[in-house]
Amino acid sequence: MHPELYFIYDSHCPWSYATSPLVKALSESFTEMEIHHWHCAHYNGTDSAGFLQIKEVEKQSAQQFGQEHMRYADSPKDSTMTANFMAWLQSKQPEKVLPVLEALQHAHFIEGNPFGCKNDFKGLIDTFKLSPSNKVFNETLSNEAQYQQSDIQELQAFMQTSAFPALLLTYGDNAILLEHARYLKKPQDLVKEVHKLLA
């Protein structure tokens, strides 16, 4: 039985952005691993991680933040449309989720793209040759995104934490919540750790 990795994240969360390189490193090292990217849709337009938290992420990880993002760091963020977009992509073209997420996070955290309307997604759609339906671009969660929220809640109940980002590794009858925060600057150290767990 192949190992599986569950990545619970929010596209507009700087800690999720810092965790994505770990997911990429595991994906490249374990090509047989099935990865589930589950967007938890935490940011709904009422709050943001804020400037101070972003500076902490910069300190603890290797990720960079652009001036355009930093200018609006304390402005409320809304990741609802992105949750719809990523849930659609996960169900229709799962092989594209990781590169699209990487490009999306770069556009958000470096270039300052808020991903708040359909036009904000045009660059991704063109680059990755995607054809999402119009319901993806609603300001409320789509059915696919809502189903994903149910799956996330079940998994969080199993993990006994609603904290995110989270990386849960399952293999055979085992399930381990990976301590991703320890590896934010050293993705290859997490790869070594997972090799040991799977040995």
- Kindly report the CATH number assigned to the domain that includes residue 170: 3.40.30.10
% residues pLDDT > 70 (the chain): 99
Q: How many domains does the chain divide into?
A: 1
pLDDT class of 171 with cuts at 50, 70, 90 = very high
Tens of pLDDT, residues 62-121: 999 999 999 999 999 999 999 999 999 999 999 999 999 999 999 999 999 999 999 999
% residues pLDDT > 90 (the chain): 97
Residue 177 contacts residue 159 (beta carbons within 8 Å):
yes
Residue 6 contacts residue 38 (beta carbons within 8 Å):
yes
Question: pLDDT value at position 119?
Answer: 97
pLDDT at 1 over 80: no
Question: pLDDT value at position 121?
Answer: 98
Q: Supply the DSSP symbol for 180.
A: G
Q: Which domain holds residue 48?
A: 4-198
